[in-house]
Chain A
């Protein structure tokens, strides 16, 4: 006779938030992304504290100055200066404000409009659904940047118009996602139960169905945030976004293009700033997807 003894010690079921953080933090990249994003956010908000110079201050003595660690650099201008003697670091710090602001506005606009339209399409179905989805198909038939470019050409170049254009281009993704989630949720027992209990249309749409579609929407919103930053920078680079002398990263790149051979650092740093910001957000997006998508959890 043998004795089979104690198995591992008892552990309670983790709470939802703890479980979310558990899955999120298991993805090391996501945590790094979150940390970088917070740093960028703080720097952007407190830009005047961090920037050594004014973003528009021109130093005629120091045009196209090399970064401070290179030979001939000046420690006052850590990342060097641009063609009119402005401190690149300070411009990058102020530029973070624009990029994050653009991302925030675009995501807010496209999420709100996209979710509303998607809820309506998915919940009511029938002809409403067909018409809405055909319109979304039409918007999606254009390459996003091309549509944004043409829209900006119509509305006139500028940051605000660029944001409107990018929101419009991003919106169909939210419509499709919301609609698909609603269609999947609509027939489930809990929705039927709430209908039977006498809940009104609005209540069912917003309080019963919507919270259950939030996971994929949050993930998509993160992706839209980074895509918006990239698109706005691309428009800026093409001269159709923020206009000089705005220290927007894409616009800075456009201004620096002609010095590409003479002063590569003027080109390098704004792009690096875009890449790091977008990468940090995308890293977070991957972590959110792992944490919020039940389909992937089992792995």
Chain B
């Protein structure tokens, strides 16, 4: 197990260095003068140009620049937003809980519906039940979620007027963030109706963001389950006279979950990509919308820092998934 973890870490470190190199070179690949880009000014004097260049360390050799950048990153300095003039890391940390809350809700929705759907489809393979579940899953998997979000807004917000269109909570409520999770903060605030409001704002984005992971998890669970159901040990379990529920729910599912957990972990990247679109559609103040806005406002410091931070988050989640994988797979644990 320890060897397994060390192996994972040995892969993680060079990957992180590579990711930081990409974030570093990003600014230097942009067409135009990096000094102008980073300062966000359009006209400047020669002296000011040289001063900023020196401040940013752009006059030093590339390897030195990269080492400086890496040192800054490791000490938590990811630069300052050109637009807001606030530290990039601070902005990220204030917006990340919103994305995390939305992503968690989406993945919970996807797992809670997707795993049972996949299991039932596998057990009832070839039946109309299996075919309709897998049909719906394929539609979900093929869904352009930005359009799906707009459709849901047209129907639930526009036509039925059931759910709000954008934001995290009604403007009626205001309370300082404690955990950053609106569902929890609204409960802590003790304001009547606040939780209900936060919940209603969360429904549509959760559905939109959860759609593709839900479809992927249902399909993956079904195929893992089908594979496992053909294994010798499932036949052994049946030969013991165990009930079908126990054969499927204990003997088969326990094994099928191993690849499914990996799939769930891989969905984190999908979720963060989906968050870019979902947050844009629902004006959800998270890091996805933050990144899109930064690209549009040419806030390259934010794009650079965000790129590194988001990749970092994904790598950490993947590490966590690997550890979980090690724990649920006895062949690795021992």
Q: A and B touching (C-beta < 8 Å)?
A: yes
Which residues of the other chain, B, contact A184 by a CB distance below 8 angstroms? none
Question: Contacts A150-B295, A275-B142, A282-B141; is A145 near B147 (CB within 8 Å)?
Answer: no
Q: How far is the CB of A261 from chain B (nearest CB, A)?
A: 5
Cα of A237 to Cα of B109 in the assembled complex, Å: 26
1/0 contact string of B286-313 vs chain A (CB within 8 Å): 0000011001100000010001001100
Question: Contacts A234-B277, A240-B295; is A150 near B147 (CB within 8 Å)?
Answer: no
Number of A residues with CB within 8 Å of any CB on chain B = 45
Q: Does B139 contact A (CB under 8 A)?
A: yes
Which residues of the other chain, A, contact B296 by a CB distance below 8 angstroms? 239
Q: Within residues 198 to 220 of chain A, which ones have a CB less than 8 A from any CB in chain B?
A: none
Question: Do the beta carbons of B147 and A264 come within 8 Å of each other?
Answer: no
Question: Do the beta carbons of A264 and B158 come within 8 Å of each other?
Answer: yes
Q: Does B184 contact A (CB under 8 A)?
A: no
Q: How far is the CB of A47 from chain B (nearest CB, A)?
A: 21
Question: Contacts A264-B158, A286-B138; is A237 near B276 (CB within 8 Å)?
Answer: no
CB < 8 Å neighbour of A237 from B146, B226, B274, B311: B146
Question: Contacts A253-B147, A260-B154; is A145 near B276 (CB within 8 Å)?
Answer: yes
Q: Within residues 264 to 299 of chain A, which ones have a CB less than 8 A from any CB in chain B?
A: 264, 267-268, 270-272, 274-275, 278-279, 281-283, 286, 299
Q: How far is the CB of B308 from chain A (nearest CB, A)?
A: 10
Looking at B146, B269, B276, the one whose CB has the most chain A CB atoms below 10 A away is: B146
Which residues of the other chain, B, contact A238 by a CB distance below 8 angstroms? 276-277, 280, 292
CB < 8 Å neighbour of A150 from B141, B226, B307: B307
Q: How far is the CB of A88 from chain B (nearest CB, A)?
A: 14
Question: Contacts A274-B147, A275-B143, A283-B138; is A146 near B291 (CB within 8 Å)?
Answer: yes
Cα of A275 to Cα of B146 in the assembled complex, Å: 11
Which residues of the other chain, B, contact A142 by a CB distance below 8 angstroms? 19, 269, 307, 310-311, 314
- CB within 8 Å of B: which residues of A? 29, 134-135, 137-138, 140-146, 149-150, 153-154, 156, 226, 230, 233-234, 237-240, 250, 253, 257, 260-261, 264, 267-268, 270-272, 274-275, 278-279, 281-283, 286, 299
List 21 contacting pairs A-B, 8 Å CB cutoff, sorted by A: A141-B19, A142-B269, A143-B269, A143-B314, A145-B274, A145-B277, A146-B272, A149-B291, A149-B295, A150-B295, A154-B29, A154-B30, A156-B31, A237-B144, A238-B280, A250-B146, A253-B146, A264-B158, A270-B147, A271-B147, A279-B139
